[in-house]
Structure 1
């Protein structure tokens, strides 16, 4: 750790940007994202079923990274767990 990074840490600043962060922001864990294959495996369904649910706006909310057919689709673990708790049992 350099001296500059140490000083920034003492005043509660982010070492990468120098922006001051609060105690709550420092303790907050980074969000976890899953690929479609991982979510399908977690839900014990096929990748294709998860894709069909996404198109029908039926499953957990997805995040598209990019445009067109080559866009990567990911899911927030928090969103998948929320969906399971609130919506997953509806049929």
Structure 2
């Protein structure tokens, strides 16, 4: 039985799953890990994983009212 007061454990996604979740190409996430600007990720040895909550937070921060705001957010 699980404790309802305990928050659920984060769900970790690999690169392909995270890209599908965000509707991006896997290559886009790979590039963003190198140049920056992408969602936070975790390294477990050679494995790269993304917490689903981090992906949701990162996506929410990219909300704009018009295209002029996009350049101001950099």
Question: TM-score, structure 2 length as denominator?
Answer: 0.72
**Structure 1, unaligned stretches of length 5 or more?**
1-22
- Structure ranking higher in helix proportion: 1
Deviant stretches of 4+, over 3 Å = 87-91
**Of 16, 35, 60, which residue of structure 2 is paired with 1:85?**
60
**Structure 2, unaligned stretches of length 5 or more?**
65-69
Q: Which residue of 1 aligns with 2:49?
A: 74
Q: Given that residues 40 and 50 in structure 2 are in contact (C-alpha distance below 8 angstroms), is that contact kept between their aligned partners in structure 1? A: yes
How many residues of Structure 1 are paired with residues of Structure 2 in the alignment?
64
- Report which of the two structures shows the higher radius of gyration computed on alpha carbons: 1
* 2:34 pairs with 1:55: yes
Q: Measure, in 1, the Cα distance between the counterparts of 2:38 and 2:21.
A: 13
Deviation of the 1:88 alpha carbon: 6.5
Deviation of the 1:51 alpha carbon: 0.2
Superposed CA RMSD:
2.2
Q: Which has the higher contact order (CA 8 A, sep 6+)?
A: 2
Q: Given that residues 22 and 55 in structure 2 are in contact (C-alpha distance below 8 angstroms), is that contact kept between their aligned partners in structure 1? A: no
Q: Measure, in 1, the Cα distance between the counterparts of 2:63 and 2:42.
A: 18
Question: TM-score, structure 1 length as denominator?
Answer: 0.60
